[in-house]
Chains A and B, each alone.
Chain A
């Protein structure tokens, strides 16, 4: 019998098709470890699926609001969110880049007010989704390489 690397979960959320190597960043962006310190979370990295390698995150007994998960679209644009109830997928959808990105990407402009000790989180407005273009809400600069600016 083939051994399952990650067991199916009874209830909760599975984030599938995460860009390989980014599962830990996904956890960080979603703040799951801080918000749900007692949740059982399993992570599988570099799993070989039909479409090549991917990472998977499974969160037991917690149904994440898909909108909340959209925050990860910047680092895992192909990810899917599956809500599981009694081992069945009851809801499935792809992540979508939200209109506003708060606290995930740092502004590349060293002279931007969001890069100071001021009590503000970096905030970006999404100008276009394909290709992805974002603009700092404060200084209006557009980062050329978004992935290198992820906090």
Chain B
């Protein structure tokens, strides 16, 4: 079912397939923690092609491969490669695939992973294509919600911050709609969730509320915070006002449910105060860790080592 498949967009997967990935990730959890040793991917090589900076995606993919006994080749910045000499992505992919069994890539252009998949014989895993997709982030978010709350269905989930440009929230909203959860989209008017995303989610059966104010956290189960980028605002004062009003601190959390979790794809700038880190609400570092078992599951599945 998964052997040889590309992982380009979360939309390429059914709910049943997503749940299967999460189940495999659950099996991988003790290996990701280093509590159990594995040689599942011994003899396999992952090509890690990062044309753009990344901390979590690249490191967790490399950790995932190595924890499963596999090896990694690649680059973290294209400046050390022939891309600097003007080589196309298509040729870079054709070269890299002759040295490895699976390719993980991040590239600034939208649709780059889809194009790479056309040229590669080995599976391509999209680690982010510009403002396009970031399916492995979406899967680890779902994994985190399921792990923290027991299940995905039945939760009321608020997505907060830059809902217009943030690539993770579009995929996440779609994936959550597959589970028919109730969602609240909180953003400044200029950074609202695109209309087509809202419509699509509603058509899929998700109940959605759209708001500008960060209030009414009393009945929220998951608060998913995203970074608001300064460069989206022509006026720096306007940015300060918006960023300040969405800052999560102890006071914001006073009215929250005891078991509400705060998630964030990271990096954060100042949208979550460090004082929140020590509270039981903070799930974002566990979320970061969850990237490892989820990416282990994906590697093992597309390489056909696990069915």
A-side interface residues toward B, CB under 8 Å?
109, 111-114, 116-120, 136-141
Q: How many residues of B contact A (CB 8 A)?
A: 17
Asked if B88 and A112 sit within 8 Å, CB to CB, the answer is: no
Q: Which of A120, A138, A141 is B90 in contact with, Cβ under 8 Å?
A: A120
Q: Is B90 in contact with A116, judged by CB distance below 8 angstroms?
A: no
Asked if B109 and A112 sit within 8 Å, CB to CB, the answer is: yes
Main secondary structure of the interface of A (DSSP, over half): loop
From B88, B90, B114, B129, A137 is in contact (CB under 8 Å) with: B114
Closest to B109 in A: A113
A119 contact from B90, B111, B114, B129, Cβ within 8 A: B90
The total of Cβ contacts below 8 Å across the A-B interface reads 49
| A111 touching B88 in the complex, CB below 8 Å, given contacts A138-B110, A138-B111 | no
Please report the C-alpha to C-alpha distance between residue A139 and residue B112 in the assembled complex, in whole angstroms: 8
What are the residues of chain B within 8 A of A138 when measuring CB–CB? 110-112, 114-115
Q: How far is the CB of A2 from chain B (nearest CB, A)?
A: 54
Indicate which residue in B9, B89, B114, B130 contacts A111 across the interface (CB closer than 8 Å).
B130
Chain B residue nearest in CB terms to A116: B109
Is the Cβ of B111 less than 8 Å from the Cβ of A114? yes
Residue-by-residue, is B207-235 near A (CB-CB < 8 Å gives 1, otherwise 0)? Answer: 00000000000000000000000000000
Q: Is B90 in contact with A139, judged by CB distance below 8 angstroms?
A: no
**A119→B110 contact, CB < 8 A:** no
Given A112-B110, A113-B111, A120-B115, A140-B88 contact (CB < 8 Å): no
**Contact A111-B90, Cβ < 8 Å, known A138-B115, A140-B132:** no
Q: Please name 15 pairs of A and B residues whose Cβ atoms are closer than 8 Å in the assembled complex, sorted by A.
A: A109-B110, A111-B108, A111-B110, A112-B110, A112-B111, A113-B109, A113-B115, A113-B129, A114-B115, A116-B109, A118-B88, A136-B111, A138-B110, A138-B111, A138-B112
How many whole Å from B109's CB to the nearest CB in chain A? Answer: 4
Q: How far is the CB of B72 from chain A (nearest CB, A)?
A: 25
Complex CA distance for A111 and B111, rounded to whole angstroms:
9
- Complex: how many Å from CA A139 to CA B108? 12
Kindly list chain A residues whose C-beta atoms are within 8 Å of the C-beta of B258: none
Top 6 nearest A-B pairs by Cβ distance? Answer: A138-B111, A139-B110, A139-B111, A113-B111, A113-B109, A113-B112
Of all chain A residues, the one with the shortest Cβ separation from B107 is A113
Tell me how far the C-beta of A15 lies from the nearest C-beta in chain B, rounded to whole angstroms: 32
B112 CB contacts on chain A under 8 angstroms: 113, 138
Contact residues in A for B59 (Cβ distance below 8 Å): none
Task: Tell yes or no: B306 within 8 A of A by CB.
Answer: no
